[in-house]
């Protein structure tokens, strides 16, 4: 027997900074609720909606987290801008000590933002771990269906850090008896399946290939 596997990609919307056309109402990432065709006959629409609600519930804390992060960056940016204007334009009388105080304030803000960034990253990882747990529990409910959190990186280059977008990969597998036909993946897997077919070409007829 060979397992006939089909996979599709389920998008998670609103993973940016919460600003712009891709933002969501509460700045929290949300799952694409379009019912995947490969789940037909394996999961009811009501089960799918329940799953989507659970994913959105887990991702909801990311909204306030991003909003607070945006405010912190904005406030620090305004303070830096104000100190720069005062220092270089001379809006206020200054003395050598003023530059020292300004440098101390800037250094303090840098340290604060460093620890705030570490806290943001830690909490974001906790949310993603919770999402992984929800995905694993859903996968354990039915042996023929599996969900996995995947990441896709893009936009990287010299002196530029690549941005990673997460999505959920849904796979459906059913045992097929006495056949060597392997189905192509719905999204992004055709080249891989062609390679697999090439490897078993000697087992099947030209028509089946």
The two tokens of residue 89 are: 């334009």
Q: What is the pLDDT of residue 182?
A: 36
CA quadruple 106, 108, 112, 114: dihedral positive or negative?
A: positive
Give me the pLDDT at residue 88, please.
66
CA 7 vs. chain centroid, Å, equals 18
Mean pLDDT of each 10-residue bin along the chain, 209 residues long: 76 75 75 92 92 94 88 86 70 61 80 89 92 92 90 74 85 56 40 49 45
The contacts found for 15-18 with CB under 8 angstroms, 24 or more apart, are 15/165, 15/166, 17/66, 17/69, 17/70, 18/63, 18/66, 18/67, 18/70
- Inter-helix orientation angle 62-89/96-141, to 10°: 160
Angle at 198 between CA 195 and CA 201, to 5 degrees: 155
Give 56-97 pLDDT, tens digit per residue: 999 999 988 888 888 888 888 888 887 777 766 655 555 666
What is the pTM assigned to this prediction? Answer: 0.67
């Amino acid at each position: 027997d060979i397992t006939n596997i089909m996979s599709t990609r389920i998008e998670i919307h609103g993973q940016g900074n919460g600003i712009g056309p891709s933002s969501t109402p509460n700045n929290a990432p949300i799952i694409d609720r379009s019912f995947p065709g490969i789940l037909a006959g394996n999961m009811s629409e009501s089960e799918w909606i329940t799953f989507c609600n659970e994913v959105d519930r887990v991702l909801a804390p990311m909204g306030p987290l991003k909003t607070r992060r945006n405010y912190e960056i904005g406030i620090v940016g305004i303070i830096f801008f104000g100190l720069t204007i005062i220092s270089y334009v001379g809006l206020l009388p200054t003395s050598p000590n003023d530059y020292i105080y300004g440098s101390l304030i800037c250094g303090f803000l840098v340290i604060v933002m460093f620890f705030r960034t570490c806290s943001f990253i830690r909490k974001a990882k906790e949310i993603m771990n919770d999402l992984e747990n929800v995905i694993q529990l859903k996968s354990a409910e039915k042996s023929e269906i599996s969900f996995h959190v995947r990441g896709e990186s893009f936009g990287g280059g010299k002196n530029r850090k690549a941005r990673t977008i997460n999505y959920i990969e849904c796979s459906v597998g059913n045992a097929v008896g006495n056949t060597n036909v392997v189905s192509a993946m719905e999204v992004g897997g055709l080249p891989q399946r062609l390679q697999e077919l090439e490897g078993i070409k000697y087992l099947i007829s030209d028509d089946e290939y």
